[in-house]
Amino acid sequence: MLPDAAYMQRCLDLAQLGKGSVSPNPMVGAVLVYNGRIIGEGWHRIYGEAHAEVNCLENVSEADKRLIPESTMYVSLEPCAHYGKTPPCAVRLVAEGVKKVVICNDDPFEKVDGRGLQILQAGGIETITGLLKEKGLWLNRRFFCFHKQQRPYVILKWAQTANGYFAPYGNKRYQLSNELSTRLVHKWRTEEASIMVGTNTALADDPQLTARLWQGKQPLRLVIDRSLVLPRSLKLFNNDAEAWVFNDVKEDEAGNVRYVKMNFDDNLPATILTELYKANIQSVIIEGGAKLLNSFISKGLWDEARIITANTTLPHGIAAPLLVNGNKAFDTQLETDMLSLYVNNNSAYPYVEGMEL
């Protein structure tokens, strides 16, 4: 018979299959076990559709349905307790008569927050919580950060030369990373709610800020443009995705572009995160430029940094951001590039070895 941790690991592996498809919901996996045999498993596949527990129960064969009342369900997040886009999973588990439920993480969402556990226990179901909780926290770090810290999860991303330069001087596009790294960055974009750049990067690179090289949903595009100097002919204003412009001139909407007026003071990074939180944006990946990245670093308003170091050098140029208070989680080779992951030392969601980004 496998140990409990093995079944929970299976839940986490299943949950990962929902990445990029379930946000703003968390990724959740569930496994139903009878006498050491898995008789059902499932995961939350698409936002607005059935949750992991329901998919798990529906996956049980007709011959095994009679075993449900004598089975243990392992699930990576506390079953929901409210009527949202689907009925509460905790109520379904009680109705099915599941004997025991083992949970990885409690759900901090205000409409759950322990209520799922209460429903299970009131229904006579034995409950255990906290199994592989550190892995569960990392898996759903965006969700937990949003509901506990009440701000989006912040990912910093940049490419740099082997001798520490971010880009050459002057407003011209310069490709540092290789093709594999570029495709990976597009994959990352499909996994985050929003992506942000500063004014100079928008002018120099004219980026689309979309995921063109990877299938998935497009992130909300964010750009800093205090005085509204960016021409509407830039690619980030095309119709491929919605765009927000943070400025101190006007509050307006024009087509798929929203102008968000705010104070450009020393607290700008926090102000931006507050605006995103109010709009239910759970994560943001900041891709440049150096000034914007450094502003979030200096305020300590970042959770992880993904730094791609190319094997090329520049004789001079703009220095790459200086990351402070960060702990290197790992290095991995991407052909000629090196990807380094750093996690903020103050993060409540430290990296767990072996987990995916």
Active-site residues: which are they? Answer: 53
User: What is the DSSP code string of 256-277?
Assistant: TEEEEE---STTHHHHHHHHHH
- According to DSSP, the residues that pair with 30 across neighbouring strands are 42, 75
Burial of 235 (0-12, 13-18, 19+ CB in 10 A): middle
Q: What angle is formed at CA 229 by the lines to CA 225 and CA 231, rounded to 5 degrees?
A: 105
Between CA 286 and CA 158 the distance in angstroms is: 8
Residue 65: partners with Cβ closer than 8 Å, 6 or more residues away? none
**Of 349, 303, 310, 356, residue with least CA distance to 325:** 303
Cα–Cα dist 81/191, whole Å: 26
